[in-house]
């Protein structure tokens, strides 16, 4: 209705809108596409001609060398092993965080406990300081406990923050009061109410939290770099550091293998985020508010 006079004229606005969006999408996707096409070329050619926009014939060779060739200083690390370590870190972190967070949030929201307010503050202060600012002493503590190069030492210190607890607290508070009243009238105890009513009700929230936490855990870099010094404990993301050092020293850097390992490092979290997009977006925008 605003454009009655120019109704028949060609409209530029949608073209510009789409142009900007396509430009943005290309900016996001091109680096990965070029990295992949480059990784399909022989390493010698990459050094000669730079990153490549064409698909070569080395794709499967580089994939299999990324997955199965033993690399590193000790020669005991393969892509598969790093993938396994990353999975353990991602899943272990997400599951641990959700279980501990749900338990604590349930205790804080559903029980008349004077101690609850104090616990609430103790727990939520942890939201204030990310691991990075207390990295040195955290390392000292974990090392003192003899937990370097263990999955426990890798995962537990990362769990020591209240993001999931906060998220579930918010959600539990939004659950109607009548539910717990009804459950009590029916004679359900706290354990039964939690397992039979609250957990099934939180399914979507649990899924959303799992995606966010899995990606967060999988993508950890600084902490694994400090805590895992033995190569058989490397995760894919931590392994990036090794790849760069290997490439730096080599006369013919193994570009193909390196890029493939990097692609392997982004594949699982990207797939999860893309396929479970709506849950993930819901969880993200609701948890941080």
Partner 1 sequence: MKRAGFRTISLPMLLLLPQLVIIGIFFYWPAGWAIQSSFYLQDPFGFGSTYVGAENYTRLAGSSEYRKVAWFTLIYTALVTFLSLGIALLLAVKADKVIRGAKTYRTLLMWVYAVAPPVAGFLGLMFFDQNVGPITEFLAGLGWDFKLGVNSFDTATAMVMVAVWKQIPVNFIFFLSGLQSIPRSVREAAMIDNKSGTQRFWDITFPLLAPTAFFLLIINITYALFDTFGVVDTLIKGEPGNNPITLVYMVFRDGFRGGDLGGSSAQSVVLMVLVLILTIFQFRLLERRIHYT
Residue 57 near partner 1 by CB under 8 A: no
Residue 205 near partner 1 by CB under 8 A: no
Residue with tokens 């000790």: 74
Closest approach, Cβ 20 to partner 1, in A, equals 5
Residue 129 near partner 1 by CB under 8 A: yes
At 177, which helix (H) or strand (E)?
Answer: helix 177-185
Residues 24-43 vs partner 1: string with x where CB under 8 A? xx-xxx-xx-xx--x-----
Residue 219 near partner 1 by CB under 8 A: yes
Residue 59 near partner 1 by CB under 8 A: no
Residue 187 near partner 1 by CB under 8 A: no
Residues 7 and 209: their CA atoms lie apart, in Å, by 48
Please list every residue from 237 through 276 that binds partner 1, using CB under 8 A. 237, 240-241, 243-245, 248, 255, 258-259, 262, 265-266, 269-270, 272-274
Bridge partners (DSSP) listed for residue 71: 77
Residues 237 and 222: their CA atoms lie apart, in Å, by 10
- For residue 192, give the nearest of 204, 205, 176, 179 by alpha carbon: 179
Residue 192 near partner 1 by CB under 8 A: no
Residue 51 near partner 1 by CB under 8 A: yes
Residue 70 near partner 1 by CB under 8 A: no
Residue with tokens 């939004």: 174
Residues 164 and 106: their CA atoms lie apart, in Å, by 12
Please list every residue from 150 through 179 that binds partner 1, using CB under 8 A. 156-157, 159-162, 165, 177
Residues 215 and 235: their CA atoms lie apart, in Å, by 13
Residue 196 near partner 1 by CB under 8 A: no
Closest approach, Cβ 75 to partner 1, in A, equals 21
Residue 9 near partner 1 by CB under 8 A: no
- Which residue, 162 or 209, has its beta carbon nearer to partner 1? 162
Residues 39 and 255: their CA atoms lie apart, in Å, by 7
Residues 83 and 60: their CA atoms lie apart, in Å, by 18
Among 75, 130, 199, 250, binds partner 1 (CB under 8 A): 130
Residues 230 and 120: their CA atoms lie apart, in Å, by 38
- Which residue, 9 or 191, has its beta carbon nearer to partner 1? 191
Contact window for partner 1 (CB under 8 A) among 68-76, 87-95, 97-105, 196-204: 97-105
Residue 91 near partner 1 by CB under 8 A: no
- Angle, to 10 degrees, between the axis of helix 79-110 and the axis of helix 255-275? 30
- Which residue, 64 or 192, has its beta carbon nearer to partner 1? 192
Among 115, 143, 204, 229, binds partner 1 (CB under 8 A): 115
**Would you put residue 148 in left (φ > 0), alpha (ψ -120 to 50) or beta?**
beta
Residue 111 near partner 1 by CB under 8 A: yes
- For residue 87, give the nearest of 207, 217, 212, 211 by alpha carbon: 217
């Amino acid at each position: 209705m605003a454009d009655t006079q120019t109704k028949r004229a060609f409209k530029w606005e949608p073209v510009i809108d789409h142009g900007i969006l396509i430009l943005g999408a290309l900016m996001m996707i091109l680096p990965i596409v070029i990295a992949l096409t480059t990784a399909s070329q022989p390493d010698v050619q990459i050094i000669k001609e730079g990153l490549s926009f064409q698909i070569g014939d080395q794709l499967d060779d580089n994939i299999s060398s990324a997955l199965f060739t033993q690399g590193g200083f000790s020669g005991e690390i393969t892509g598969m092993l790093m993938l396994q370590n990353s999975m353990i870190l991602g899943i272990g972190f997400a599951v641990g965080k959700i279980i501990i967070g749900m338990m604590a949030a349930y205790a804080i929201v559903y029980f008349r406990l004077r101690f609850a307010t104090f616990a609430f503050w103790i727990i939520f202060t942890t939201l204030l300081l990310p691991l990075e600012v207390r990295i040195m002493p955290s390392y000292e503590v974990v090392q003192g406990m003899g937990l370097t190069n263990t999955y426990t030492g890798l995962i537990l210190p990362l769990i020591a923050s209240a993001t999931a607890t906060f998220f579930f607290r918010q959600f539990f508070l939004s659950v109607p009061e009548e539910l717990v009243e009804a459950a009590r009238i029916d004679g359900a105890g706290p354990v039964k109410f939690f397992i039979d009513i609250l957990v099934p009700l939180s399914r979507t929230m649990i899924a959303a939290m799992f995606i966010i936490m899995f990606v967060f855990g999988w993508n950890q870099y600084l902490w694994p770099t400090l805590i895992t010094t033995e190569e058989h404990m490397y995760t894919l993301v931590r392994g990036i550091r090794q790849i760069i050092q290997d490439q730096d020293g080599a006369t013919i850097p193994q570009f193909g293998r390196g890029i493939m390992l990097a692609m392997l490092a982004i594949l699982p979290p990207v797939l999860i985020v893309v396929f479970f997009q709506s849950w993930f977006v819901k969880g993200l925008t609701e948890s941080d508010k």
